Amino acid sequence: MIEEGQPAPDFALTSDAGERVRLSELRGKPVVLYFYPKDDTPGCTTQACGIRDAYGEFERAGAVVLGVSPDDERSHVKFKEKYGLPFTLLADPEHTVADLYGVWGEKKYMGRTYMGVRRSTFVVGADGTLVKVMHDVKPATHADDVLAALAG
């Protein structure tokens, strides 16, 4: 289990723009790395639109926002365009990065058990260390909770 104060595990994933994004190449800026289960579902849309609506505050904090889900790039493009999301979405279809961060696993929903992403956010400091680890975040308050973590 990764914890606050540890170096953030490095990775490279393909973005909604078809580019490879490597976490270590973003050093020098804080990074908000948020994992969500699926594009264009109610909770994930609420979460993404909350960040969109507060995006100016994320920019003022100097933060790079990266949303990660198991969806592919094509799904991300549709989701991003539909809701006017101003930040990068990363495709993790093999859930390798979700595994690396410990957020892939068994979930229960309406009496059924399945494998999926646990809604979690990692705030990575400009030096590459984890400054805040947030599990089971609430979509409606996510943006404010992350902004509070960025403020220190």
Question: Tell me: the pLDDT tens digits for 48-85?
Answer: 999 999 999 999 999 999 999 999 999 999 999 999 99
Task: Look up the pTM and report it.
Answer: 0.95
**C-beta of residue 41 within 8 angstroms of C-beta of residue 63:** no
Distance between start and end Cα atoms, the chain: 23
Domains by residue range for the chain, with CATH: 12-151 (3.40.30.10)
Report the pLDDT value the prediction gives residue 110, as an integer from 0 to 100. Answer: 78
User: Do 104 and 95 touch, CB atoms closer than 8 A?
Assistant: yes
Angle among Cα 146, 17, 25 to the nearest 5 degrees reads: 60
Q: Which of 21, 31, 44, 97 is catalytic?
A: 44
- Does the active-site annotation cover 49? no
